[in-house]
A and B are shown apart, each in its own frame.
Chain A
Amino acid sequence: EDKVVQSPLSLVVHEGDTVTLNCSYEVTNFRSLLWYKQEKKAPTFLFMLTSSGIEKKSGRLSSILDKKELFSILNITATQTGDSAVYLCATPKGAGSYQLTFGKGTKLSVIP
C-alpha cells in the first residue's frame, strides 16, 4: 500500500526563522510528488516535483526531491505569520490513476 509520511507533524517558529518540512514516500510506480498549503480553506498548489535534485522555487519557498532516498523537503526562508498553515505532500496512486495519497500534513505556526 502506498504511504506518505510527513514530519514533523507540527512546528512552531518565530518570524524570520527558516524551516524545513520533510516528506518521505513509499509508492509503486512513482510519478511525481506534490506540495500543497492548506490554511482555513482548501489546499492551494505549491509545487510538483518529478526529477531528483532539481530545486523548484517560488519566492521564499523551495522544494527538492530525492528519488534515491525517497523523500522531499520543503524549505521556507524568512518565515512570516502568513506562512502559518498545514503543509501537505502527496503522490499519485498506482499506474494510470490521478488519485493522490496524502500525508497527514505538517502544521506550521509562525509567531511574531
Chain B
Amino acid sequence: GAVVSQHPSWVICKSGTSVKIECRSLDFQATTMFWYRQFPKQSLMLMATSNEGSKATYEQGVEKDKFLINHASLTLSTLTVTSAHPEDSSFYICSASSDRGYEQYFGPGTRLTVT
C-alpha cells in the first residue's frame, strides 16, 4: 500500500516552454501533497504544500507564478514549471500523506532538463 506515482519520470524541454508533472496517490487518498526539488548530492528542498481543493502554500523564495501547483482531487496533484530556464533543471519529487498519519510517501521523482 501507499504507492505514489509520478509522470513523466524524465523530461527534456527547451528554454521558455512549460512542463507539467503529475503526481498520483494510487491506493490512498492524499489530503496533503508536497513538492520538493533536489539538486545533486543535496538534501530535499520543500517547494510547496498543497491540500486538496485549496491553494498551495509556497516556501519562501519559491515563485508561485513560475511553479504552478494544482491539487484538484484527493489522488492527483500537478506541478507546472512555466517558462522554464536551464536553472530550473533539477530532480522534482512529490510526496503524499493521508489524514491518518504524518508519514509521507514519495513518488519516484521526475528529472527535468531544460536546454
Q: Which residues of A contact B (CB under 8 A)?
A: 31-32, 34, 36, 41-45, 48, 88, 92, 98-100, 102, 104-105
Q: Which of B14-22, B73-81, B102-110 faces chain A?
A: B102-110
Residues from chain A with a CB closer than 8 A to the CB of B101 are 32, 48
Residues from chain B with a CB closer than 8 A to the CB of A88 are 43-44
Give the interface size bracket for B toward A.
10 to 19
Given A41-B108, A42-B108, A42-B109: A102 in contact with B102 (beta carbons within 8 A): no
User: Are A45 and B49 touching (Cβ within 8 A)?
Assistant: no
Residue of B nearest to A36 (CB): B106
User: Are B102 and A45 touching (Cβ within 8 A)?
Assistant: no
Residues from chain B with a CB closer than 8 A to the CB of A102 are 43-44
Roughly how many angstroms separate A31 CA and B102 CA in the complex, as a whole number? 8
Q: Is B2 an interface residue (CB 8 A)?
A: yes
Roughly how many angstroms separate A34 CA and B2 CA in the complex, as a whole number? 15
Residue of B nearest to A100 (CB): B104
User: Are B97 and A45 touching (Cβ within 8 A)?
Assistant: no
User: Are B106 and A43 touching (Cβ within 8 A)?
Assistant: yes
- Return the 8 tightest CB-CB contacts between A and B, nearest first: A42-B106, A42-B109, A92-B102, A42-B93, A48-B103, A98-B32, A43-B106, A41-B108
User: Are A45 and B43 touching (Cβ within 8 A)?
Assistant: no
> What are 18 A-B pairs with beta-carbon distances under 8 A?
A31-B102, A32-B101, A32-B103, A34-B102, A41-B109, A42-B93, A42-B107, A43-B44, A45-B104, A45-B106, A48-B103, A88-B43, A92-B102, A98-B32, A99-B46, A100-B102, A100-B104, A102-B43
